[in-house]
Amino acid sequence: MKKKFRTKLKKLQYFKLTFLPGFCTKLLKKELVPIKKGKTSSFLIQLLEKQKLKYNYRLKENQIKKYFKYIKLLKIFNLIQIIELRLDATIFRLGFAKSINQARQLITHGFIFINSILVKKPSFILTEKDLIYINPKKFTI
């Protein structure tokens, strides 16, 4: 358990994220040495940004590829717009959960209903007229 905690702290420091909601603000004492010194290429910058997205929103490579195909179909120019339409990100932004991990857990344990239908997929894409319900028998705020 402790090893996983240290790796999360190292990733926060590597991506230069000072605060990640739902996670402690404690940082490592020693500075991490960057992988590459000198001029950073545009490929490296894009790779680091993609890794930040994967780490913050708990996405996998296949999901990111799927969202890029989705962008081409809908002609949306921003990947974050689609990611923020996901159910887990929306529940986190609404304040029902303290972190995206907790929001994912609420969804998979059957606490969340969308339009009075139980949804257990955190990657569910919401539309504008969807109504989000929380099961009052299982969850109290």
Q: Is the predicted pLDDT of residue 1 greater than 50, yes or no?
A: no
pLDDT digits (tens, 9 = 90+) for 98-116: 889 899 999 999 999 999 9
pLDDT digits (tens, 9 = 90+) for 47-56: 888 888 888 8
Element (H, E) at 114: strand 112-114
Query: pTM of this prediction?
Result: 0.74
Domain boundaries, the chain: 40-84, 87-141
Rounded Cα distance, 63 and 36, in Å: 28
Q: Which residues contact 27 (CB under 8 A, 6 or more apart)?
A: 9, 12, 13, 18
pLDDT digits (tens, 9 = 90+) for 3-12: 555 576 677 7
Note the pLDDT of residue 27.
54
CATH code for residues 87-141 = 3.10.290.10
